[in-house]
Amino acid sequence: MNIIEKILAKASGKKVVHPGEIVEAEIDKAMANDITAPLAVLSFKRMDGKNVWDKEKVILVIDHIAPASSEQSAKMHKLMRDFVEEQSIKYFYDVGRGGVCHQVMVEKHVEPGDVIVGADSHTTTYGALGAFSTGIGSTEMASVWLTGKLWFKIPEAINIIFNGEMTKSVYPKDLILYTIGQLGADGAIYKGVKFSGDTIRNMGVEGRLTLCNMVVEMGGKNGIIEPDEKVYNYLNKQAKDDLRDDEDSEYDKTFEYDASKLEPMVACPSTVDNVKSVSEVEGVKIDQALIGSCTNGRLSDLRIAAEILKNRKVKKGVRALVIPASQDVFKAALNEHLMEIFIDAGVMICNPNCGPCYGGHLGLLAEGEVCISSSNRNFVGRMGSPKADIYLASPATVATSAITGKITQPA
């Protein structure tokens, strides 16, 4: 079996499983946020739910509109708080306590070998730590809250191998954008997506999180990387299970790429698979530059951006936003004096939350405006006006472009 099959076999009490087989797996953790939890609470009540199956395994996060930006969102938050109170949910990250749900999960909850469902599509992120994790909807989340179980089809899997050393201006975000450009928005539909090769082994854990985060942008069911020493050190944990592919494990397809040949990449409006090299679109004028989100709002991302913005200024007429992905990231960035660099450069620092990433609040775009963003989706209307353009790129490309006022390749 491959690592995905191993995790799902164990969780469903089977010795072996095969692609296509439907299993019912025990869920280790179930996460929902302020966009998906309220609907789940309503469904839970309609299921005559009295108690969640395990009050330590249900994790709730307010991140999409944090703090509330309207009476309506305040109402959604209140509904969540009441549910937390009523159910004595142990892990609830209210405004000021957590940050973007996936970052909170990575910091506090994910363990290698876990089966985790999240009512959010980017739940695929945790595969970078060796967990099987995938997104589900609200009513399904309610059924997990009740039963602690969920059905899965064992996915066929594809193996994406990167070898070679990335050049200086190329980052994990460029690798995943390149991959999505190659495979297309439906290139991995229903499939498990494993990353391997020496580029991945040499990559830091935070970069791996960026890869697995965006697997869903090519339709993937989950992303996964075999956990190694780096992961166990990052989590401060000891390895327990055997989380490596068996010698004879099978992959539906294998793609092999040379990371040393890649250039900085950008996903152009308005699909994530509309990927070009930055050099092809260099010079496109921007109105906003955003560094943040569950894709690239971590400490390593802020360090890269700060290094570029140090003693420089954001171009007049451009708004630059930095949104740390969590309170912990925010604090660490403060300790490293990164925030001073951003402030001196003319960057607006927002509180940890999803912000404009999905068009909720804090930095939306007007008709005709252009944003370059380190986030993960550039769909029509994703960040405000349906007539605004969003380009997705690495934090380095975003920071460099903020200085020049147009899409610019990092040095």
Partner 1 sequence: MLEIHGRAVKYGDDVNTDVIIPGKYLTSTDPKELAEHAMEGLDPSFTEKVKDMNIIVAGRNFGCGSSREQAPLALKYSGVKCILAENFARIFFRNAINISLPVLESKGISENVDERDELRVNLSAGVVENLSKKEVLQVTPLPDFLLEILDQGLIEYVKHRRTS
State the binding partner of 375 from ligand SF4, partner 1, none, CB within 5 to 8 A by kind: ligand SF4
CB under 8 Å to 201, separation ≥6 — which residues?
Answer: 228
Decide whether 232 or 358 has the Cβ nearer to ligand SF4. 358
- For residue 211, the minimal CB distance to ligand SF4 (Å) is 15
d(CA 312, CA 144): 49
- For residue 176, the minimal CB distance to partner 1 (Å) is 16
Cα end-to-end span (Å), the chain: 43
What residues from 116 to 155 belong to the interface with ligand SF4 (CB under 6 A)? Answer: 120, 122
358 binds ligand SF4 (CB under 6 A): yes
- For residue 235, the minimal CB distance to partner 1 (Å) is 25
Q: Say if residues 252 and 282 touch (Cβ distance below 8 Å).
A: no
Other residues' Cβ atoms within 10 Å of the Cβ of residue 244: 14
What residues from 263 to 282 belong to the interface with partner 1 (CB under 8 A)? Answer: 271
368 binds partner 1 (CB under 8 A): no
State the binding partner of 46 from ligand SF4, partner 1, none, CB within 5 to 8 A by kind: partner 1
Pick from 185, 235, 239, 332: which binds partner 1 (CB under 8 A)? 185
76 binds partner 1 (CB under 8 A): yes
Residues binding ligand SF4: number (CB under 6 A): 13
Question: 3-state class of 241 per DSSP?
Answer: coil
Count Cβ neighbours within 10 Å for each residue of 362-390 and write b for 16 or more, e otherwise. bbbbeeebbbbbbbbbbeeebbbeeebbb
146 binds partner 1 (CB under 8 A): yes
Question: 3-state class of 174 per DSSP?
Answer: helix
Q: Which helix (H) or strand (E) holds 338?
A: helix 338-345
- Between the alpha carbon of residue 183 and those of residues 135, 221, 330, 374, 390, the distances in Å are 20, 14, 35, 20, 21
- For residue 352, the minimal CB distance to ligand SF4 (Å) is 10
d(CA 141, CA 125): 18
Please tell me the chain's helix, strand, coil percentages from 3-state DSSP, rounded to the nearest 5. 35, 20, 45
- Between the alpha carbon of residue 322 and those of residues 36, 297, 358, 401, the distances in Å are 25, 8, 15, 14
What residues from 25 to 44 belong to the interface with partner 1 (CB under 8 A)? Answer: 35-36, 38-39, 42-43
State the binding partner of 293 from ligand SF4, partner 1, none, CB within 5 to 8 A by kind: ligand SF4
Location of structure tokens 């390749």: 409
User: Taking Cα atoms as reference points, which of 144, 97, 80, 90 lies closest to residue 116?
Assistant: 144
d(CA 331, CA 297): 13
34 binds ligand SF4 (CB under 6 A): no
Decide whether 219 or 405 has the Cβ nearer to partner 1. 219
Q: HSE of 363 in the Cβ direction (CA atoms, 13 Å)?
A: 30
119 binds partner 1 (CB under 8 A): yes
Question: Judged by CB under 6 A, which stretch of 36-44, 99-107, 311-319, 387-395 contacts ligand SF4?
Answer: 99-107
What residues from 382 to 401 belong to the interface with partner 1 (CB under 8 A)? Answer: 382, 386
- For residue 100, the minimal CB distance to ligand SF4 (Å) is 5
Decide whether 69 or 202 has the Cβ nearer to partner 1. 69
Pick from 21, 26, 54, 139: which binds partner 1 (CB under 8 A)? 139
- For residue 288, the minimal CB distance to ligand SF4 (Å) is 15
d(CA 179, CA 118): 24
Q: Binding residues for ligand SF4, per CB under 6 A?
A: 64, 100-102, 120, 122, 293-294, 354, 357-358, 375-376
Q: Binding residues for partner 1, per CB under 8 A?
A: 22, 35-36, 38-39, 42-43, 46-48, 64-65, 70, 72-73, 75-76, 118-121, 123, 135-140, 142-143, 146-147, 151, 185-186, 189-190, 219, 221, 271, 358-360, 377, 379-382, 386
